[in-house]
Structure 1
């Protein structure tokens, strides 16, 4: 009976000890992944140059608006948008009824002035013959002479009016003044237009350029003559050499400055109206930048996690510049040789012990500031080890 009690007590004690050992082992294995948390790190990039790009449209360097020099009703329209025209080609016509009436009236006035001059000239000749014989007085002769001079002036005025009426009758035809392509049309048959009202927009043959809009905080980095490259949306892999030809001195309604970038290669493959992108290489002072996923903030104050030499974390406050697509420049707070954590920064804490890997999942050594290369291709990565360790702990627990 005593042996059974002694055996039962020994068994109970042994089970308690084993359970304690198991719990200690489980707790120890559960704490190890937390103490050696795997984090991805990178070093700030240093760049003295930045590549900026802007979307734009291919336009002709020279464009002109075509308009009738007289008003009237449109009776014919010969061309449309996209048509190629040559010098002297008739583009549209106006109703000529009123112009013909004015021309007939001017012709009649001219004929009347010619008859009046002929009469005045004959009268002056007769008085000139009578004056030596004192058949007429000197005052009478002077009066006839003044009438002759007035008839001459009236004839000149009538001739000018007739020439103007002739021109007016010809202005009813709108002709192209240069070779080019019609890019816009603002008239229709039957429409009544005023003198000088735009009818067509003509893009002249010759140089092509890309027109872009640049924000006010970036236009100061551009200058006339600066080199650029252009790619077309239809052929993004092909680049064309270009240069800044003109920078608008004032912003438009969208608060951007219009910049015209001229193409050096005036290839026929570049068509008007094509979508294009202009690339500028701008030089700046040396500047550090880090991924956006490295930045967190407390009370709107940004910070990053920097790795100490003993592979613990240190919260470092930084001053950031203008945010880019996937990176942000660091104006103060970091050095080029420091390592910062990338991703998951809101899950970390001060002085936490971590293990480091780069973006390619390779271990990082802070002693020689290099990435450790694995000699054994079959070696398990730290993340795989942590995963296996976690699974083992769960199964044993």
Structure 2
């Protein structure tokens, strides 16, 4: 073979081997991924939320003070009413007849009292002349006193009948909005039977149901914040105003959460959610993104001093909005992978970085969690 050709072939083979080696080294380097890590925080903000409904702080049932048949109703659910507005009327025929009878009795009693007074006056004039006996005078005086008593009774009955006639109109005693209607035209209602429910204009609050295992975590005056389902981006500062001392039929306790500031955007009946937050110290917590599970066993990836990851089983508490408390299995000095945990495998070498993409040097003095001495 020509020496020149042999030399050229040797140079080509050598160059290929050199390039292959460089490519292999570069590929090996590229296989070590950059992974974000962080140490667990030593506090945990526990957040709980409950669904509720916006209601008026003050609500009252409106009812007729007398029984009767409903002849007219002038408002319905959702209508705004003002003080003194007539809401409904009953049939006044029977009440009018009773009023007429009471008026007649009153006029009769007035006449009887007038006659008794005149008779007493004559006997007073005859008594000094001994034209009548003392016993006769006392009898006439007693008749006069009885006539006055009958007159007072008739006057009271007449006033009661007048009131009964006026009570056939149901009048709003507060301004607000009608939230419930329980009557129909033609219906016969009893005295005191609720005809309407009125939400009094003014403050609004959210009523929630809290299960019995969580009711002891709440207290009067506790801070909270409210969001509306229609506007979840808006938050309204609020506080616990009232906690029911007994559970209802659903085995939950009614809790009323008052809004600190009123807004026109908050309407009666809207769906809302109430959030409570509490900061717990001396509890390790990690981001939700750092937790994975295998066969119902939760674990996190911790980084060894040699920059290799190790799967560490942990015991978790109640999940929060962005993080979860770690009850056991983790130490404060451990570095935990906080993203891409599903792409890692045991003893994989990584390049740990923090949230600002700065390299993290895991201390060689750190003893890997879960390993024996």
Common topology (TM > 0.5) = yes
1:227-263 CA-to-partner distances (Å, cap 9, x unmatched) read 3222222222222222222222222222222222222
Matches within 5 A, 1:1-397: 44-290=40-286, 291=288, 293-296=291-294, 309=305, 311=308, 313=310, 316=313, 318-323=314-319, 328-339=324-335, 353-356=347-350, 367-368=362-363
Structure 1 stretches of 5 or more lacking a match? 1-31, 370-397
Over 3 Å counting, the alpha-carbon distance change for 1:344 and 1:233 in structure 2 is closer
Q: CA deviation at 1:44?
A: 4.0
In 1, Cα distance between equivalents of 2:178 and 2:146:
50
Q: CA deviation at 1:332?
A: 2.7
Q: CA deviation at 1:296?
A: 4.8
Comparing 231-240 and 201-210, the one that deviates more: 231-240
Q: CA deviation at 1:75?
A: 0.5
In 1, Cα distance between equivalents of 2:201 and 2:280:
38
Matched-pair contact (CA < 8 Å) for 1:241–1:265? yes
Q: How big is the alpha-carbon RMSD for the aligned residues of Structure 1 and Structure 2?
A: 3.4
Equivalent position SS for 2:155: helix
In 2, Cα distance between equivalents of 1:178 and 1:358:
67
| TM-score, scaled relative to structure 2 | 0.76
In 1, Cα distance between equivalents of 2:211 and 2:87:
40
Matched-pair contact (CA < 8 Å) for 2:42–2:281? no
Matched-pair contact (CA < 8 Å) for 1:307–1:314? no
1:147-169 CA-to-partner distances (Å, cap 9, x unmatched) read 11111111101100100000001
Over 3 Å counting, the alpha-carbon distance change for 1:203 and 1:54 in structure 2 is same
Q: CA deviation at 1:338?
A: 2.5
| TM-score, scaled relative to structure 1 | 0.71
Q: CA deviation at 1:281?
A: 2.5
Q: CA deviation at 1:40?
A: 9.6
1:103-148 CA-to-partner distances (Å, cap 9, x unmatched) read 1121121112112211211221222222112222111111111111
In 2, Cα distance between equivalents of 1:309 and 1:56:
50
Over 3 Å counting, the alpha-carbon distance change for 1:296 and 1:139 in structure 2 is farther
Q: CA deviation at 1:319?
A: 4.3
Matched-pair contact (CA < 8 Å) for 2:40–2:332? yes
Equivalent position SS for 1:267: coil
Q: CA deviation at 1:86?
A: 0.8
1:291-340 CA-to-partner distances (Å, cap 9, x unmatched) read 49534568xx8776756556474665x54433557864322332133356
Equivalent position SS for 2:235: strand
Aligned residues: 328
